[in-house]
Amino acid sequence: MVRLLLASLVLTLASPALAAETLTIYSGRNEKLVGPLLKKFTEKTGVEVKVRYGETPQLAATLLEEGAKTPADVFFAQDAGALGALAKAGQLQVLPKETLDKVDARFRSPQGVWVGTSGRARVVAYNTKKVKADTLPKSILGFTDAKWKGRLGWAPTNASFQSFVTALRLLKGDEAATQWLKGIQANAPRVYKNNSAIIEALGRGEIDAGFVNHYYLYSAKKNKADLPVANYFVAAGDPGALVNVAGVAILKGSKNTAAAKKLAAYLLDAEAQTYFAQETSEFPLVSGVKLAEGLPPLDKVGSPDLDLSKLDDLRGTVKLLQDTGVL
């Protein structure tokens, strides 16, 4: 036993350097989703990949800790906030213009250091046995109505929820954001850890409606087809219709920039974009790619007119959430 353990230890120690063109990726996106796509990338380009999977914020914190000494070439993040934090720390390098230009300016960094690869819309998921879609308010602001008391669920620690609150602050002002948060608080929402937990609770009927990203429902339905939950898109232009992105960036410390740029380009290639659309029901960010069934087109969702990079006052949002007693 001990000998076997030692042998495996030695093997692990001795194996860091393998092929010449190997790309190290930190992925905040799930292996189940990204793994097959990266395999296709390797087949296509011959570039081997090594991936550290984890939660986006925790990987971002790790990258911030590692600084210039990071072994990572590429960071593939669940949300723009994490990419923005690394951009602010000056740890990202500028991407090629032809890659950036494929995506609407709203969904990429103005300095060109990160680019969105797929979109996820904020939606209201609801239990179809307990709520009729036509009784749902047109605006996210409508959920402060007292008739929603005890029926709502949210995940205020979640990064995508906080991005939405930041958007709400920018679009309607801090005062309105405070009022909305207080209004929802007054309706005694149940507090969940993340989007998956909200969908799970909706399935059991613990709550009637919850604020989530649109695509969690589809992966949950793959596991349980008869889940009585559906997505509701609020009116276009509403802060509640915010479309956030998962995105990719190349680290400044990368010694493998050429291969890293190939990967960034590949993720915006028609093949990868179709994959995101079909496999995870996300919104492709490059035009001309077919959407998953049942999804409205991105311009119909009508994300408010806001550059995602403007959503960088994360600390201000957390403070607001704390001041209103949400956190």
Partner 1 sequence: MIRRAPVGLWVAGVAMAALALVPAIYLCVRAAEADADAWGLLLRDKTWGLLGRTLGLAAAVTGCAALLSLPLAWLTARTDLPGRRLWTVLLCVPLAVPTFVSGYVLLAAFGVGGALEEPLTRWGLPVPPVYGFPGALLALTVSTYPYFFLALRAGLQSQDPAWLEGARSLGLTPARAFFRITVPLLRPAFASGALLVGLYVLSDFGAVALVQYDAFSRAIYVQYEGAYDRSYAALLGLALVSVTVGVLALELWLRGRAGYHRSAKGAARASSPVLLGRWRVPALLLCGAVVAVGVGLPVGVLVYWGVQGLSVDSGPMMGPAWNSVSASMLGAVAAVVGALPLAFLAVRYPSRLTVALERVSYAGYALPPIVLALSLVFLGVQAVPFLYGTLVMLVLAYVVRFLPQAVGVVRASLLQLNPHLPEAAASLGQPPSGVLRRVTAPLLRPGLLAGAALVFLTAMKELPATLLLAPIGFETLATRVWGATAEGRFAEAALPALVLMAVSTLGVGLLVSQEGGSSPS
| Interface map 155-174 toward partner 1 (x if CB under 8 A) | --xxx--x------------
Position 250, amino acid: I
SS3 247: strand
Q: What share of the chain is helix, strand, coil (3-state, %, to 5)?
A: 45, 20, 35
Whichever of 108 and 151 has its CB closer to partner 1, that residue is 151
Q: Which is nearer to partner 1, 101 or 313 (CB)?
A: 313
CA distances (Å), origin 210, targets 73, 124, 202 = 37, 6, 8
Cα separation, 315 vs 60, in Å, equals 16
The answer to whether the Cα torsion of 136, 137, 140, 143 is positive or negative is negative
Contact code string over 82-121 relative to partner 1, x by CB under 8 A: x--x------------------------------------
Q: What is the footprint of partner 1 within residues 298-327 (CB under 8 A)?
A: 314-315, 317-319, 321-322, 325, 327
Which one among 45, 71, 104, 278 touches partner 1, defined by CB under 8 A? 71
- Pick from 23, 38, 47, 57: which binds partner 1 (CB under 8 A)? 57
Q: Does residue 216 have a known ligand-binding role? A: yes
Is-contact 306 244, C-beta < 8 A?
Answer: no
Counting contacts by CB under 8 A, is residue 135 touching partner 1? no
To the question of whether residue 192 is assigned a binding role by annotation, the answer is no
Out of 40, 42, 45, 64, point to the residue binding partner 1 (CB under 8 A): 64
Residues in Cβ contact with 27 at an 8 Å cutoff, skipping those fewer than 6 apart: 34, 51, 52, 53, 54, 59, 76
What is the nearest approach in angstroms of partner 1 to the Cβ of residue 235?
27
E-strand stretches of 84-129: 92-93, 114-127
Q: Kindly state whether residue 196 participates in binding partner 1, applying the rule CB under 8 A.
A: yes
Binding test (CB under 8 A) with partner 1, winner from 36, 46, 67, 150: 67
205 contributes a contact to partner 1 by CB under 8 A: yes
x-marked contacts with partner 1 along 10-49 as a string, rule CB under 8 A: --xx-xx-------x-----xxxx----------------
Q: Are 272 and 266 in contact (CB under 8 A)?
A: yes
Q: Which of 123, 316, 298 is nearest to 216 (CA)?
A: 123
Number of chain positions touching partner 1 (CB under 8 A): 69
Residue 60 touching partner 1 (CB under 8 A): yes
Which residue among 222, 255, 290, 310 contacts partner 1 (CB under 8 A)?
222
Task: Return all residues near 2 (Cβ < 8 A) that are at least 6 apart.
Answer: none
Q: SS3 for 61-92, per residue?
A: HHHHHHHHHCCCCEEEECCHHHHHHHHHCCCE
Does 272 bind partner 1 (CB under 8 A)? Our answer is no
| Contacting positions for partner 1 (CB under 8 A) | 1, 4-5, 8-9, 12-13, 15-16, 24, 30-33, 50-55, 57-62, 64-67, 69, 71, 81-82, 85, 157-159, 162, 190-197, 199-201, 203-206, 216, 219-220, 222-224, 314-315, 317-319, 321-322, 325, 327
